[in-house]
């Protein structure tokens, strides 16, 4: 029985990976890497971060995050403002242009997935609704 569950886990992991990879292709700025878009998404959702907090959150080194932030700043997608309490530190925040990239990318991804789901029979769409709830629970436990 456990071998069957392990096989099911493998099949699920592969299917989720393929879907995630396909969704990541849908973005409004095709030159952004997944990591760069991820930083914009974090700043858009959670607000300003210091470089070290952003690196920790994304599980990368500070020098690596600094390169990512520099690139996104050059493109006008984020900015650095000096911290009011500690002028040696800066707060990294998303710009209107960066927020637009996030919104447009999410819209493209939702549209792509919706167009695929729309083609499914109602019973399969119902299964996907249940699966989304279960996957969310698995991811947050």
Q: What are the domain boundaries of the chain? A: 2-140
pTM of the model: 0.85
**Crossing angle (nearest 10°) for helices 34-46 and 51-58:** 120
**33-43: burial string, b at 16+ Cβ within 10 Å, e else:** eeebbbbbbbb
With 0-12 / 13-18 / 19 or more C-beta atoms within 10 angstroms meaning exposed / middle / buried, residue 102 is buried
- The arrangement of secondary structure in 2-140, i.e. its CATH architecture, is Orthogonal Bundle (1.10)
Q: Tens-of-pLDDT digits for all 141 residues of the chain?
A: 577 999 999 999 999 999 999 999 999 999 999 999 999 999 999 999 999 999 999 999 999 999 999 999 999 999 999 877 777 789 999 999 999 999 999 999 999 999 999 999 999 999 999 999 999 999 998
Q: What span, in angstroms and rounded, lies between the C-alpha atoms of 12 and 29?
A: 29
């Amino acid at each position: 029985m456990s071998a069957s569950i392990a096989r099911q886990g493998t099949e699920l992991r592969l299917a989720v990976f393929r879907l995630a990879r396909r969704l990541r292709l849908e973005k409004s700025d095709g030159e952004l890497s997944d990591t760069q878009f991820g930083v914009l998404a974090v700043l858009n959702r959670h607000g300003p971060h210091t470089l070290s907090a952003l690196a920790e959150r994304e599980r990368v080194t500070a020098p690596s995050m600094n390169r990512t932030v520099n690139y996104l700043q050059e493109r006008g997608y984020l900015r650095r403002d000096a911290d009011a309490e500690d002028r040696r530190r800066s707060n990294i925040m998303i710009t209107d242009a960066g927020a637009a990239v996030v919104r447009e990318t999410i819209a493209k991804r939702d549209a792509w997935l919706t167009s695929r789901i729309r083609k499914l029979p109602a019973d399969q769409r119902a299964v996907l609704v249940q699966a989304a709830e279960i996957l969310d629970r698995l991811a947050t436990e």
